[in-house]
Amino acid sequence: MKSRLLLLLAIMSLLLVVLSACNNTGDSEKSRDEEGTSNTDQHTRAETTEVVVDGSSTVFPIMEAVAEEYQKENQGARVNIGTSGSGGGFEKFAAGETHISNASRPIKKEEKAALEKADIDYTEFQIALDGLSIVINKKNDWVDQLTVEELNKMWSADGNVTTWADVREGWPDEEIQFYSPGADSGTFDYFSEVVFGEEGDIRQDASLSEDDNVLVQGVTGSKNGISYFGYAYYAENKDQLKAVPIVNDSGEAVKPNQETVQSGKYNPFARPLFIYVKHSTLKNESVYNFAKYALENAGAMAESVGYVAKPDSAYEKALIRLDEIAGK
């Protein structure tokens, strides 16, 4: 009887040891599985970091097209393109809210100072060319061309222009409706610099908007409307708008198109378009891969949305510079 009891206790002890070993193995495998899952999740998050871009509404169509194609070709990639205007974009860039900043004019001294204060290194890349277009309603049949001097008179706060007759003799005595990009827009800055130089302010009764589509709607809805914005927005709405030929430095009235912008004949309103890339963010493969893709495809995308590509050699040099910054 005693020997049977001892045998029973031995069997029970052996079973407990086996069960304990099985549980430990399961816990270890579970732990390894959880660790593997965690590492995988972290890797996935690193690979799908959202690339944040903001700035010029003029540059937006190019970068939007780039982002769409990039996300199609790179499953899981995420790119967010905003339109705060060139100035608003640089503010976010300096605040560390974005990786790339779009601009339709070069960075200003005060914006450079803000980035220096924030200890942010960056590089400027030209991605395309644009012809800032002065547009009027399709039904306007009297404005055949404009000079920069007439634009100054029309748009200046001190120009004393209310009607078309105030601009040129023989034009109708009808009130002009002015539509302008907002003060945060690089297009606003560029137009002001060309038309007013260092002196003069834009008229206060102009309807302002950072959204170029709102400006398009304003002019298409008013026979006496006039505005200015990037060539792509004119090209997209040319069935409802007319681009005004501008008298260039040779005295020739020239309309914006790909040929006149590329050759510089459409002066003084032919201009480069930019992206600014933050150096430190290129350590992130998601940002680097998107920036590289953007420079590789900006020319084709620019032309697909109505802008003008730069020579291939310009993009090749830009890609070499990008790799130098990223340490590739």
Within this chain, do residues 172 and 294 fall inside the same structural domain, yes or no? no
- Residue 269: both structure tokens together: 């309103």
**pLDDT attached to residue 13:** 53
Residue 288 included in any domain:
yes
Within this chain, do residues 81 and 202 fall inside the same structural domain, yes or no? no
Within this chain, do residues 247 and 225 fall inside the same structural domain, yes or no? yes
**pLDDT attached to residue 206:** 94
What range defines the domain where residue 293 resides? 48-129+272-326
Residue 32 included in any domain:
no
Counted domains in the chain: 2
pLDDT in tens, 274-295: 999 999 999 999 999 999 999 9
Strands 207-209 and 246-247: unpaired
Ranges of the chain whose pLDDT falls below 50: 1-9, 11, 14-19, 21-47
pLDDT in tens, 243-266: 999 999 999 999 999 899 999 999
C-alpha distances in Å from residue 167, one per residue of 160, 178, 201: 10, 14, 18
Cis peptide leading into residue 181 (ω within 30°): no
Q: Which of 244, 246, 186, 248 is nearest to 219 (CA)?
A: 244
- Among residues 232, 250, 268, the one where a domain terminates is 268
**pLDDT attached to residue 3:** 47
Within this chain, do residues 68 and 125 fall inside the same structural domain, yes or no? yes
CATH number at residue 81: 3.40.190.10
Within this chain, do residues 255 and 295 fall inside the same structural domain, yes or no? no
pLDDT in tens, 40-79: 333 233 345 899 999 999 999 999 999 999 999 998 999 9
Q: Which of 279, 25, 262, 319 is nearest to 131 (CA)?
A: 262
Q: Which of 193, 190, 196, 156 is nearest to 176 (CA)?
A: 156
d(CA 208, CA 204): 9
C-alpha distances in Å from residue 70, one per residue of 27, 54, 73: 42, 17, 5
Cβ within 8 Å of residue 162, ≥6 positions away: 175, 176
